[in-house]
Amino acid sequence: MSNVLILIEHAGGEPKKLSLNAITFGQQLSAQSGGSLNLLLVGENAGEAAQAVKGYGAEKVFVIDDPSMHNYLAESYATGLSAAAEACGATSIAGASSSLSKDLFPRLAIRLNAAMASDVLEVIGAKTFKRPMWAGDVLATVELKSERQICTVRTTEFDAPEAGSEASIETLPVNVDLDQLKTSLVDLKEIKSERPDATVADVVVSGGRGVKSSDGFKVVEELADLLNAGLGASRAVCDAGWVPNDLQIGQTGKIVAPDLYFALGISGAIQHVAGMKGSKVIVAINKDPEAPIFQVADYGLVADLFDAVPQIIESIKS
């Protein structure tokens, strides 16, 4: 039977919203293959987060909460995922596209002799998927010609999952000898933000080279906070160190698709557009009337962002 296993990322005892959308991918894939859907949570408090995902029609929700698996390392997680795939007879393994899955799944693919599709946009068949190439300038239909398949899923293309029958929760006794690994975690500095993450926010406000400095970025933040929006930035702004790289949106950064996207002082290189063109409504403000961002904008305003954005803020406040 061609069963499906979806890795659910979680934090603070809650599943991440990105991973919920990956369950929808799993539901679609198990409908195609006729196999069961299974979920896996690894790490501290995985059992708590598992409670929140048991009602989506999965056969089983696996939990691995051994202390040796509390910190993510590709080497140890690959062992955990292999064990879960074995436990449920999974031939398809997937998860939301994230820094974790991109670091982990190719390793798992070799371990399981599986082919892999990255950033899947659409399920065409049990082994056939649509995915982007050339910064989203090409959509490719790819077939994975192996007994087992692995996918990372672009979750902006999948809605939240529909409720289904209740799964049984099963703890898997997986532990690894950390001393035997070739990698060790030295430090993890979390960038804490009160703002919603751009990948799940309804509104995203992004700044580009036009903000001129880290001080100039404050007006972008002010508009974002007023709209309870996620923050984003172009590569130029991140490279310059004006904002943390964590905010970067584009081919190599985050992929977002909010209801409303503000591109402020962003020229609109294809690499940036690749990360935001799925947004429902795009507003671009740029001094340069020739800026390519105007080609994807629903509403373009040729203006200095330092003139226009304060006016927008005033208008929203009143």
Partner 1 sequence: MKILVTVKRVEDPEIKIKIKADGSGLESEQMKYVVNPFDEIAVEEALRLRDTHEGEVVILSLGVADCAQQIRTALAMGADRGVHVLTDETLDPTLASLAMQKVIEDESPDIVLMGKQAVDDDMGQTGVMLAERLGWGQASFASKEASLESEEEKSKQTALNVSDNKVTVVREVDGGIETLCLNLPALITTELRLNIPRYASLPGIMKAKKKEIKEFPLRDLIGDAQPLVEVLKMEKPAARAAGMIVSDVPQLMEKLRNEAKVI
Q: How far apart are CA 104 and CA 275, in angstroms?
A: 22
Does position 145 interact with partner 1 (CB under 8 A)? The reply is yes
Window 56 to 75, contacts with partner 1 (CB under 8 A): 74-75
Provide the 3-class DSSP secondary structure of residue 17: helix
Does position 283 interact with partner 1 (CB under 8 A)? The reply is yes
Q: How far apart are CA 257 and CA 282, in angstroms?
A: 10
Q: How far apart are CA 144 and CA 113, in angstroms?
A: 12
Q: How far apart are CA 111 and CA 104, in angstroms?
A: 11
Q: Least distance to partner 1 from the beta carbon of 48, Å?
A: 19
Q: How far apart are CA 264 and CA 284, in angstroms?
A: 6
Q: Least distance to partner 1 from the beta carbon of 23, Å?
A: 18
150 DSSP β-pair partners: 93, 116
Does position 302 interact with partner 1 (CB under 8 A)? The reply is yes
Does position 179 interact with partner 1 (CB under 8 A)? The reply is no
How many CB atoms lie under 10 A from the CB of residue 74? 15
Sole binder of partner 1 in the list 12, 67, 188, 194 (CB under 8 A):
188
Does position 215 interact with partner 1 (CB under 8 A)? The reply is no
Alpha carbon distances (Å) from 255 to 13, 121, 199, 278, 297? 25, 12, 7, 9, 17
Q: Least distance to partner 1 from the beta carbon of 182, Å?
A: 3
Sole binder of partner 1 in the list 86, 162, 166, 259 (CB under 8 A):
259
Q: Least distance to partner 1 from the beta carbon of 293, Å?
A: 10
Does position 146 interact with partner 1 (CB under 8 A)? The reply is yes
The span of 40-48, 49-57, 164-172, 180-188 binding partner 1 (CB under 8 A) equals: 180-188
The C-alpha angle with vertex 155 and arms to 6 and 57, in degrees rounded to 5, equals 40
Does position 99 interact with partner 1 (CB under 8 A)? The reply is yes
Sole binder of partner 1 in the list 7, 227, 255, 266 (CB under 8 A):
227
Sole binder of partner 1 in the list 89, 162, 168, 183 (CB under 8 A):
183
Cβ closest to partner 1, residue 173 vs residue 289: 289
Q: Least distance to partner 1 from the beta carbon of 217, Å?
A: 13
Does position 255 interact with partner 1 (CB under 8 A)? The reply is no
- From first CA to last CA, the distance across the chain in angstroms is 60
How many CB atoms lie under 10 A from the CB of residue 167? 21
Sole binder of partner 1 in the list 102, 168, 288, 304 (CB under 8 A):
102
Pair 130, 122: CB distance under 8 Å: yes
Q: How far apart are CA 148 and CA 145, in angstroms?
A: 8
Q: Least distance to partner 1 from the beta carbon of 5, Å?
A: 18
The span of 80-88, 170-178, 215-223, 252-260 binding partner 1 (CB under 8 A) equals: 252-260
